[in-house]
Amino acid sequence: MHSSTQLVIVVTTVASHHDAERIAHQLIDSSLAACVQIDGPVTSHYRWDGVIQSSTEFRLTIKTASGCWQNLKEQLISMHPYEEPGILMLPVTDTTQGYLDWVIQHTR
């Protein structure tokens, strides 16, 4: 599999379902994502400003081609409502050829 056509999963969270829907629509509309799944609500536990906190969030699982990663990351940062969003890119080591072809076809 050529590295620019590898499937990658990008994961982030937001505080509202509305923000999750807005981000999903924009990423798909701009052809930076083939599919965005929204899970939640989930509870996140973390330390922020020296204090242990918990928040209700919605997780976005974004499926895209590795060649879109940098542009997707830049767009996601620019529209993300958090001061310091957690954005993780996870390479997929194997998938079906048909699914990979579908992702590549729907991303640029």
Residues 13-27 pLDDT 10s = 999 999 999 999 999
Q: Are strands 88-91 and 7-14 parallel, antiparallel or unpaired?
A: antiparallel
pTM of the predicted model as reported, rounded to 2 decimal places: 0.93
**Could you give the number of structural domains in the chain?**
1
pLDDT score, position 21: 98
Q: What is the CATH number of the domain that holds 41?
A: 3.30.70.120
Containing domain of residue 77, as a range? 3-105
Residues 59-105 pLDDT 10s = 999 999 999 999 999 999 999 999 999 999 999 999 999 999 999 99
Residues 18-62 pLDDT 10s = 999 999 999 999 999 999 999 999 999 999 999 999 999 999 999
Bridge partners, residue 63, by sequence:
9, 35
